[in-house]
Chains A and B, each alone.
Chain A
Amino acid sequence: MSSHDAKAMRPGAIDPPMPLAHHFDTPGQQAGSAKFGMWVFLATEILMFSGLFLAYFVVRMLYPEMVLSSHELLDKTMGGVNTVVLLTSSFTMAMAVRAAQLGDQKGVVRNIILTILFAFVFMGVKYVEYTGKFAHGIFPGKYFDYVAAGEYAREHGHVLAGKPHIFFGLYFVMTGLHGVHVLAGIGVLTWVLLRARKGEFGPRYYAPVENVGLYWHIVDLVWIFLFPLLYLVR
């Protein structure tokens, strides 16, 4: 039973009614349930990625030299650009939620479109990175081409130590799973965009925008850790 009156509604703001499923008593109960469910789901996402991060730390512990020498082959600048892109998309997502809270229909649509665009930019940069790696024999695991990758490293003044196929295997799994989450994010964002264009969201009903936003922020959070660990840390 939140007070909508307290919120400053802009003139011209649109406030469509909230659809209420039969098994809920109040809109607040419905929205609260959805949001709580989303947070619990985010907890599962965090735990799932934590397994990958733990694998990374273990590999780093077992083969410190290998990890440090291998990561030099990753392009810090591309990683940095992607970080900025993803942070900005998180910002536009937050703005979309805010627009929905204020009943600014156009703002919702505009910001979700921006978020989707940034997501595509992110995937584009990833595509360039992946194909660049593949071109030099840097494949995950047993497909790793030691000869080609070794030459590529020497050209750039590095020496590959130990078993870099493990590092790159992990790199592709971590960024790959993250990429799958970005793609899933594009999917759900598109769904929300279609609904937003129909004018379904407003101050009384914006739970889908908010929950998709929460998911999108988690995708961002994972990247915030992936970036320094894979690209930067010496």
Chain B
Amino acid sequence: MVDAHKIEDDLVFLNGEALGPEEAVEIQEHVSPLSLYYKVLSALFVLTGLTYAVSYLDLGELGLPVAMFVAVIKVSLVCTYFMHLKHDDRYHVFVFLSTLLFVGIFFTFILFDLSSRDRLSDEQGTFFQQRMDPDKGMPSRQPGFGPGLTPALPPGAAPAATVAPEATAEPAAEDKAEHDAGAH
């Protein structure tokens, strides 16, 4: 099975693999023209100006996606041209992209957990409430610390939410309460 292909002596070996002479490129070297670097730098400046300008517009919910979109474009410009991924070994691109995949796994599961944490509890109404009463505040080790500057209760949050039986339940999340109220 592993012996399927016979190795000829005139083949070139690269990293243990037998290859034809034209395939055996040990390291990708590419000199990009000067103009390309200038173009990329200008594009980066323009995009920076763009995010800066957009931040003065009130896009509401769209603010984050737009900013992230621009940042992703900037990052891909730097990776492709400054870091030479365009002309580099394909395997380096693979390493880079699979890193992003694992970052994606990391983000997706944790954000999924956080966003769905109250769902079944709320549906059934029987589980403990994770939110604490904002008026009572958090068990705080620091006097005068915590919700001192908290504005009045957001209109959506019910003050009836009781303290969780578990002492280590969720922190007082006024904002979260509002967030959840919006989600339902």
Task: List B contacts of A76 (CB < 8 A).
Answer: 52, 55
The answer to whether B175 and A66 have CB atoms under 8 Å apart is yes
Say whether B92 faces chain A, with CB atoms less than 8 Å apart: yes
Q: Is the interface of A mostly helix, strand, loop or mixed?
A: helix
Cβ of B127 under 8 Å from chain A: no
For the complex, give the distance between the alpha carbons of A80 and B179 in Å: 31
Instruction: Return chain B residues, CB-CB under 8 Å to A62.
Output: 114, 171, 173, 175-176
Closest-by-CB residue of B relative to A2 is: B29
Contact partner of A228 among B24, B70, B100, B173, CB < 8 A?
B70
Is the beta-carbon distance between B45 and A224 smaller than 8 angstroms?
A: no
Interface residues of B: mostly helix, strand, loop or mixed?
Answer: helix
**Contact A39 to B106, CB < 8 A, known contacts A46-B100, A63-B175:** no
Interface members, chain B 53-102 (any A CB < 8 Å): 54-55, 58-60, 63-64, 67-68, 70-71, 74-75, 78-79, 81-83, 89, 91-92, 95-96, 98-100, 102
Contact A163 B147 (CB under 8 A): yes
Is the beta-carbon distance between A1 and B26 smaller than 8 angstroms?
Answer: yes
Residue from A43, A150, A221 within 8 A of B79 (CB atoms): A221
How far, in Å, is B144 (CB) from chain A's closest CB? 7
Contact (Cβ within 8 A) B78 A28:
no
Asked if A200 CB lies within 8 Å of chain B CBs, one says: no
* A7 touching B59 in the complex, CB below 8 Å, given contacts A50-B107, A150-B149: no
In A182-234, the 8 Å CB interface with B consists of 213-214, 217, 220-221, 224-225, 227-229, 231-234
| Whole-angstrom distance between the Cβ of B95 and the nearest chain A Cβ | 5
- Is A101 on the interface with B (CB-CB < 8 A)? yes
CB of A132 within 8 A of chain B?
no
A185 to B52, CA, bound (A): 26
A40 touches B110 (CB 8 A): no
User: CB within 8 A of A28: which of B27, B51, B91, B114?
Assistant: B27
Q: Does B2 belong to the interface (CB within 8 Å)?
A: no
Say yes or no: A224 contacts B26, CB within 8 Å. no
Which of B34, B41, B45, B55 lies in contact with A232, CB distance below 8 A?
Answer: B55
**Residues of A contacting B153 with CB < 8 Å?**
none
Residues of A within 8 A of B34 (CB): 98
Residue of B nearest to A31 (CB): B27
A161-193 near B? 1/0 per residue, CB < 8 Å: 111100000000000000000000000000000
Contact between chains at A87 and B48 (CB < 8 Å): yes
Bound CA–CA A220/B40 (angstroms)? 14
Also in contact, A217 and B78, with CB within 8 A (given A57-B107, A142-B142, A146-B148): yes
Cα A42 to Cα B49 in complex, Å, equals 27
23 residue pairs A–B, Cβ–Cβ below 8 Å: A1-B24, A2-B27, A28-B26, A29-B15, A32-B89, A36-B91, A39-B96, A50-B107, A54-B111, A58-B110, A62-B173, A63-B173, A64-B175, A65-B174, A84-B48, A87-B44, A98-B34, A150-B149, A217-B82, A217-B83, A221-B79, A225-B68, A228-B55
| Given A26-B26, A98-B34, A228-B70; 15 other pairs, CB 8 A cutoff | A54-B111, A61-B111, A61-B176, A62-B171, A64-B179, A94-B81, A159-B151, A161-B175, A162-B174, A163-B147, A221-B75, A221-B79, A224-B75, A228-B68, A232-B51
Which residues of A are in contact with B by a Cβ distance under 8 Å?
1-2, 7-8, 26, 28-29, 31-32, 35-36, 39-40, 42-43, 46-47, 50-51, 54, 57-58, 61-66, 76, 80, 83-84, 87-88, 90-91, 93-95, 98, 101-102, 142, 146, 150, 159-164, 213-214, 217, 220-221, 224-225, 227-229, 231-234
